[in-house]
Amino acid sequence: MIGEKVFYMNEYKEMVSGIAVNISSDKFDDVKWLVSENENGKTEWACYWSKKKKMYVPVKDKDMESIYFEIKGREYSDYIYLNEVINLPNLDKGSN
């Protein structure tokens, strides 16, 4: 999603778009949007750095409400939560 055009509704209920330039979280210090491919297809998901596991792990469904994007618009940046993005890819975590 980073570097891609996203669509969302602004505060006036108008559909607008912009480029996702950053992903952050209200809960986690280090968040990335990771993409992987295998024989089952493409998987995209927000992941956070786990200090315990020393690796990026997928954000659990219960914590997805804390994930937000910085969207670069023509005049200013918007900050929108993941659930506000209209054109999200298929968020399939595979076997999780």
How confident is the prediction along the chain (96 residues), in pLDDT tens digits per residue? 788 888 998 888 889 888 999 999 999 999 999 888 877 777 888 999 999 999 999 999 999 999 999 998 777 889 999 888 887 665 444 434
List CB contacts of 63: < 8 A, sequence separation 6 or more: 25, 27, 28
CA angle 72-19-28, nearest 5°? 80
Decide: residue 71, CB within 10 A, 0-12 exposed, 13-18 middle, 19+ buried.
buried
What residue segments make up the domains of the chain, in order of their start?
5-84
Q: Which residues of 1-96 form beta strands (DSSP E)?
A: 5-9, 15-25, 31-38, 41-50, 55-58, 67-72, 77-81
Q: Which of 94, 67, 96, 70 is nearest to 83 (CA)?
A: 67
User: For residue 39, what pLDDT is reported?
Assistant: 78
pTM of the full predicted structure? 0.77
Q: Cα(38)–Cα(14) distance, rounded to whole angstroms? A: 37
User: For residue 90, what pLDDT is reported?
Assistant: 52
